[in-house]
Structure 1
Amino acid sequence: MRAIALTGLLLLTTAPALAATAPKPLYRDPVYDGAADVSTVYDSAHKRWAMFYTNRRATLKLPDPKDVSWVHGTPIGIATSKDGMKWTYGGMAKIPESCTGATLWAPEIYYESGTYHMWLTVVPGVFKTWNGDRKIVHLTSPDLEHWACGDTLDVGSDRIIDASVVKLDSGTYRIWFKDERKSSRIFAADSTDLVHWTRQAAPVVDMSAEGPKVFRFKGFYWMVADAWKGLIVLRSDDAQTWTLQDSRLLEAPGHAATDTAKGQHADVVVNGDRAFIYYFVHQEAEPEAKTDPYWHQRTVIQVAELKYADGKLSVDRDTPVDATLKASR
């Protein structure tokens, strides 16, 4: 009997420790409870990860249910993490008012050669409808804290939002964005200096979508974009010609609390040989929404792992995931 007990103890002490599991939600904004549209980057100076996000004013209870002022007047929030698993609120980004506006959406953070770049969607005011003009402004920073005004993205439209930027193998850069003047199609433009851009004539795909995110993974370029009924997925060998995947990501609601609606406007971090997708989820299907008609305005950030097989990407949002991020650069 003693031998059996000792054997059992040995098995327990030599068994590998259980992997950590990312919480659900991964992050919830403590000010307005409306975190959305994240962009995640490694902050090498502080040896931590930083998540910039649209800080929707989700706790506002406006008399008119059609009034979308709560999605305007939005600052950019910041959360930080040492490991990608536990995120802490880090205040609001210090964005210069001289080149932006009252409403800030969808930051895109890109790092190169000691400089952080941000392409930020700006709406010049607070509006009760979705009809305000939009533009994308380029800012730079040496440290993710102090931002300097740059150029306004000039691609021939006064209603563009949601930038995504990648450096191509040729050494040139490509930016993707949603053009609301062109039936909300996603277009691309090219640059050699991150300042002057030449727009491509045709959209990436002939369907409406927003929040494109382009990244490289498993030997391909990929784009995920929010089609308001899950995320469409496109694959490319050269970031120019795209093939639309026949299945969407995060279209079906999850089963865990706070993850029970479709996933929206995602960021993707490729870390080593793994890829993690960070998406926001409205809270209309949560128990609190049964007694609070404004609860649906609230959004939280979730994380899941992207899987690649047979030329396609998939994600199981209900599978627990160790989303630990290794240091970058």
Structure 2
Amino acid sequence: MIGLLAFAAAATAQPVIAPKPLFRDPVYDGAADPTTVHDPKTGEWVMFYTNRRASLPPAADPKDVSWFHATHIGIARSKDGAHWRYGGIAAIPKSCTGETLWAPDVERFNGLWHMWITVVPGVFKDWNAPRFLVHLTSKDLKSWQCGERLELGSDRIIDASVAALPEGGYRLFFNDERMNKAIRTADSNDLVHWTVKDRLTETPGEGPKAFRWKGKWWLISDAWKGLLVMRSDDGTHWTRQSDYLVADAGQAETDRAKGQHPDVIVAGDRAYLIYFVHQTGEPQAATNPAWGRRTVIQMTELHEAGGVVTVDRNAPTEVVLK
């Protein structure tokens, strides 16, 4: 099964409406890059996210991006998938990672939790630094053990998404910044050794999320002008959708900018898109330019017809997870 995307959790007794924002980080107000799983031991939903230090005072140099660095992985928890509370910081060992952690992907395979995380080995004022993926495992989603660093033929690798293949083995979707930020794939039989395979996109993008839904493969990624959607019958040959999701600003407060870095929860025939939004469209940004660095998590339902996926981010999102 595909980690968070195929599970048997109890349905909520009654549908609930997701608030806007879905979640806001209480530490630095910079929740981004979510990955969401259901914990069968506690019955709760658990979200891991990049804890950007968005509320730090701006540096003298406007190009200084050190606030993107020295980031932990935050945790949020929910009983119904709609109402979330802050759950602290993930216990990820620095011995095999580093000072800066981005964009976790958490999946459950063969009774064990796996995390692939982007590591930047230090705190930098610019983007000129190596980036790579590290694999960790956990039995309880609380304590994480070091695995291996993935060797994928580039020193600028970010944003993992891992899925189990129906015929056996696993596929990694990731962003190679040395290839004009292309989305690429790699395959493995053991989740340790990976063989780099295909390049899926020619245009730049990041944050891929792969999942199976309604008998097809889907890949949604952040194209920086909304979310790019691709579909496939076999996971190898892909068709690109012309329209981007959440490309236009939403109407609701805290949702007035394009959606970025997606996650998806599949619940039977229904599926939910989780994304983050910069606060550039909020009234506070008019008097405080740094307010736009802040990011919140939002949720909307995916709809599919004739192989085309759409969302209405302005409509109330009825959350029914099972």
Aligned-partner Cα distance in 2 for 1:299–1:176: 24
Do structure 1's residue 187 and structure 2's residue 181 form an aligned pair? no
Aligned-partner Cα distance in 2 for 1:85–1:324: 9
Aligned-partner residue type, residue 280 of structure 2: E
Aligned-partner Cα distance in 2 for 1:325–1:292: 38
What does residue range 1-329 of structure 1 map to in structure 2 within 5 Å? Answer: 19-61=15-57, 62-200=59-197, 202-326=198-322
Aligned-partner residue type, residue 75 of structure 1: H
Alpha-carbon RMSD:
1.2
Aligned-partner Cα distance in 2 for 1:215–1:101: 29
Aligned-partner Cα distance in 2 for 1:159–1:18: 45
Over residues 66-105 of structure 1, what are the superposed CA-to-partner deviations in whole Å (9 max), with x where a residue is unaligned? 1111111100000000110110100000000000000000
Over residues 129-165 of structure 1, what are the superposed CA-to-partner deviations in whole Å (9 max), with x where a residue is unaligned? 1111000000000000010000111111111000000
Aligned-partner Cα distance in 2 for 1:68–1:50: 29
Aligned-partner Cα distance in 2 for 1:124–1:19: 43
The structure whose Rg is larger is: 1
Aligned residues: 309
Q: Which residue of 2 aligns with 1:6?
A: none
Higher RCO (CA 8 Å, separation ≥ 6 residues): 2
Contact 2:14 2:320 in 1 (8 A): no
The runs of at least 4 aligned residues of structure 1 exceeding 3 Å deviation read none
Over residues 43-66 of structure 1, what are the superposed CA-to-partner deviations in whole Å (9 max), with x where a residue is unaligned? 111110000000000001222221
Aligned-partner Cα distance in 1 for 2:111–2:238: 32
Q: CA deviation at 1:219?
A: 1.0
Contact 1:72 1:127 in 2 (8 A): yes
Aligned-partner residue type, residue 22 of structure 1: A
Corresponding residue SS for 2:98: coil
Q: Which residue of 2 aligns with 1:9?
A: none
Contact 2:15 2:319 in 1 (8 A): no
Identity %: 59
TM-score after normalising by structure 1 = 0.92
Unaligned stretches of 5+ in structure 2? Answer: 1-12
Corresponding residue SS for 2:178: helix
More strand by share: 2
Corresponding residue SS for 2:319: coil
Aligned-partner Cα distance in 2 for 1:97–1:321: 38
Corresponding residue SS for 1:294: helix
Aligned-partner residue type, residue 78 of structure 1: I
Aligned-partner Cα distance in 2 for 1:251–1:94: 34
Q: Which residue of 1 aligns with 2:9?
A: none
Contact 1:279 1:302 in 2 (8 A): yes
Aligned-partner residue type, residue 289 of structure 1: A
Contact 1:304 1:315 in 2 (8 A): yes
Aligned-partner Cα distance in 1 for 2:39–2:225: 33
TM-score after normalising by structure 2 = 0.94
Corresponding residue SS for 1:119: strand
